[in-house]
Chains A and B, each alone.
Chain A
Amino acid sequence: MNAPALLEIADDELILGWRDSEWTGIAPSLEEDVAFSSIAQNEIGHARALYELAAREIGTTADGLAFDRDPSEYRSAPLVEQRRMDWAHTIARHYLYETADEIRLAVLKQADDADVAGLAAKMDREEQYHRLHARMWNEHLRDEPRYQDAIRELWPLALGVLAPGQRSELAGRVGLEPVEAVERERQSDELGELWEEMTMVRRSVPGATW
């Protein structure tokens, strides 16, 4: 598996984990707070494992990839970069992302590289819980106009999570018509801001061993 492909997924997971963690302490209920924070932590854990694999190939470290790159080098999809939105948008993103991620992981589990396939299988076990959570919320909110608007708004961004060949599959699963996707190349302003915050501590003492 080539490093750039791994980095796309790793960056998605890191940035989404980061964004979801912004809900820690302010989710609509304490139970949801625990559940969503746990999901956020899982995503960052997945990012770490993927960065490790990519780092081995590139000859650097996972931390180096996560925190020492320039914002322009991140390959994350604009969907995961959006700054804290309302709960309807957050759940819409969660549902769309998890559905897309399932399609992506199924392919990864078949990878020739045993390390990649093994990691994908391991990630998928945790993602099952995420999907359960996402589908449950989707069922719960699907008749709410605010939620429907959020899904429509984020749909082109959700398509951009997947490679073009996988997008019709996503459209089928969520029951929406394919539209023009917002591609990874189109970096959002939100990422720069997030990067500033995310790498602040590490940049405060360049070259330090933590």
Chain B
Amino acid sequence: MIFEVFRQEKKGAAFAHAGSVAAPDATFAEAFAREQYGRRQESEALWVVPRDAIRAVTDFADELNKTYHRVDGYSLKAKLKEARERAGTARDS
């Protein structure tokens, strides 16, 4: 079985994916994860999760093409330039 290991570097920090371990069961997975990601004071906490338990979502259809839902749908740069010109604080570049 493959287990994914998530590591928290400091208390309160978000867990980040650290890597994976292959193990026959959860107990072995924990031991191997401790060995590889937790024995050198590099982690505050670990999450050891069977890979099968992770529901991976990778297909994000943009069916309606509503770009205004996204931050990059706005051309902020142009608007900022305009505003600066109005205020007389335009930059050279």
Contacts and interface: CB of A to CB of B under 8 A. Distances in A.
A31 B21 contact: yes
Nearest to A32: B32
Nearest to A28: B24
Interface in B7-55: 21-24, 27-28, 31-32, 34-36, 39
Interface residues of A, number: 13
A136 B34 contact: no
Contact of B31 (A29, A30, A132): A132
Nearest to A36: B35
Given A35-B35, A133-B31, A140-B27, 14 more contacts: A29-B22, A31-B21, A31-B28, A31-B32, A31-B36, A34-B35, A35-B32, A38-B39, A129-B39, A133-B35, A136-B31, A139-B27, A140-B24, A140-B28
14 contacts: A29-B22, A31-B21, A31-B22, A31-B28, A31-B35, A32-B32, A34-B32, A34-B35, A34-B36, A38-B35, A132-B31, A136-B27, A140-B24, A140-B27
Listed residue (B24, B27, B35) with the most chain A CB atoms within 10 angstroms of its CB = B35
Closest 10 pairs (CB-CB, A-B): A31-B32, A35-B35, A136-B27, A31-B21, A136-B31, A133-B31, A31-B22, A35-B32, A38-B35, A132-B31
- Main SS class of interface, B: helix
A30 B22 contact: yes
A136 B34 CA distance: 13
A35 B24 contact: no
